[in-house]
Amino acid sequence: MDCVVTGGNVKVLAKAIHSLSRIGEELYVEPQEDGLALRSVNSSRSAYACFLFAPLFFSRFTTPSGQTFRCKMAIKSVQAVFRSLASLEKTVEKCHIQLDEQKNRLTFTLHCKHGLLKTHNLSFQDSESLQAVFDKDSCANEFRSQPRLLVDTVIHFPQSVDEVTVSVNDERMWFRNHVEDEAEQARAMLTELCLASDEFDHFAVKSHGSITFCLKELRGLLVFAESTGLPITMYFDEPGSPVVLSVTDSVLEGNFVLATLSEDAGHRKNNSRGGRSPQPPPPPDDFMNDDMDSFIIAMDTSMAPGPSTSRPSTSRSDYSTCSKQSTAANHRTRHRSEEEEEEEEDNTDDLDRPPNKKFCSLFFGSVLPPSSQMTTQPVISQEVLASDSEDDPQDE
């Protein structure tokens, strides 16, 4: 791989990396025929982001001929290359990204003002391709707006607010902060904003409803969208299926796929939804390779709360909203059993999250079979987890 980014595009690249750093710890780099893909996923697999920079984005773009190359690296180390974002535009004239196969290093060379040359040789790990399975075009609801609109909306939510609920009808969209449970509701401050459809460039609603997702990743995308001035398009269907936020330009495309909170059976009995089957069959999940600690923590906490006992019966409605491949079931307070799901899908793995969220994980696909080395260890841990979480309600 050998590519050169010049002028203002260096800042765009840097901003993209910074917004990816809001998602996960690792940056997946994959040069493709159609451009350079940079991706990241969070540890609980509930948020995924991908930027694809078309060959035209670069002044020079060559991919390794023949074999495909993919790697992942600590996103922090890549961020360090573009540390001084503010001065980047003024100082950096050219950025050269090159793969040194002999030394197994990815080299970022920044040609700066005054002839200063900054070379960062970063180590990387081989990785599989990271792909989230989503189909934004089939989403019922689609909204496009200038980044300013969302920035001005999100700014009203304090940093302590983790999740927002977005509701739509034919004329309006509401943003409100999501409050976890009844006890909290009494003390919590509720913030709600209403946006009229004419504030959007495009406002298409086919199904009324509301979804709840994390603000953190949205904030990350907004930083990028605001600096590039690109409009943001939001696609979503229904609770539990992912919301897709995307920015598109002639030379780049960015998609942020965020899990949404499943409809809570305790709050709303909506069994009719149980019959709906998820659309594309997911490839097996094969990169459950990190975050052992949070698995363990989540495992512990999943045994503690009582409410999980009552859940199995409602599992069907819950699970259907989860995306296909990785059925995220085991949550801190609400336990969603995977029994039925497992019957349906062989490759389901129980994906656990850090204990404090109730989102379903997204379904990620991989182009490689699950037998690869990366998956070996995590799969074991998942099995343990899955059996634990299934036993859990029974034991109680």
Nearer to other proteins, 114 or 187 (CB): 114
CB of 105 vs other proteins, minimal distance in Å: 6
Q: Which of 68, 84, 207, 271 binds other proteins (CB under 8 A)?
A: 84
CB of 87 to other proteins, least distance (A): 7
77 binds other proteins (CB under 8 A): yes
- Among the listed ranges 69-77, 154-162, 167-175, 240-248, the one in contact with other proteins (CB under 8 A) is 69-77
Nearest residue (CB) to other proteins, 77 versus 301: 77
Instruction: Please say which residue, 123 or 356, places its beta carbon nearer to other proteins.
Output: 123
Single residue of 62, 64, 80, 268 touching other proteins by CB under 8 A = 80
Question: Least distance (Å) from other proteins to the CB of residue 102?
Answer: 13
Three-state helix/strand/coil letters over the chain: CEEEEECHHHHHHHHHHHHHCCCCCEEEEEEECCEEEEEEECCCCCEEEEEEECHHHCCEEECCCCCCCCEEEEHHHHHHHCCCHHHHHHHEEEEEEEEECCCCEEEEEEEEHHHCEEEEEEECEECCCCEECCCHHHCCEEEEECHHHHHHHHCCCCCCCCEEEEEECCCEEEEEECCCCHHHHHHCCCCEEEEEHHHCCEEECCCCEEEEEEHHHHHHHHHHHHHHCCCEEEEECCCCCCEEEEEECCCEEEEEEECCECCCCCCCCCHHHHHCCCCCCCCCCCCCCCCHHHHHHHHHHHHCCHHHHHCHHHHHHHHHHCCCCEEECECCCCECCCHHHHHHCCCCEEECCCCCCCECCCCEECCCCCCCHHHHHHHHHHHHHHHHHHHHHHHC
Q: Which is nearer to other proteins, 107 or 301 (CB)?
A: 107
| Residue 104 vs 356, nearer CB to other proteins | 104
Site for other proteins, residues 88 to 147, rule: CB under 8 A: 91, 105, 114-123
**Minimum distance from residue 81 beta carbon to other proteins (Å):** 8
Residues 338-377 that bind other proteins (CB under 8 A): none
- Count of residues interacting with other proteins (CB under 8 A): 20
CB of 77: closest distance to other proteins in angstroms? 3
Binding site for other proteins (CB under 8 A): 73-74, 76-77, 80, 83-84, 87, 91, 105, 114-123
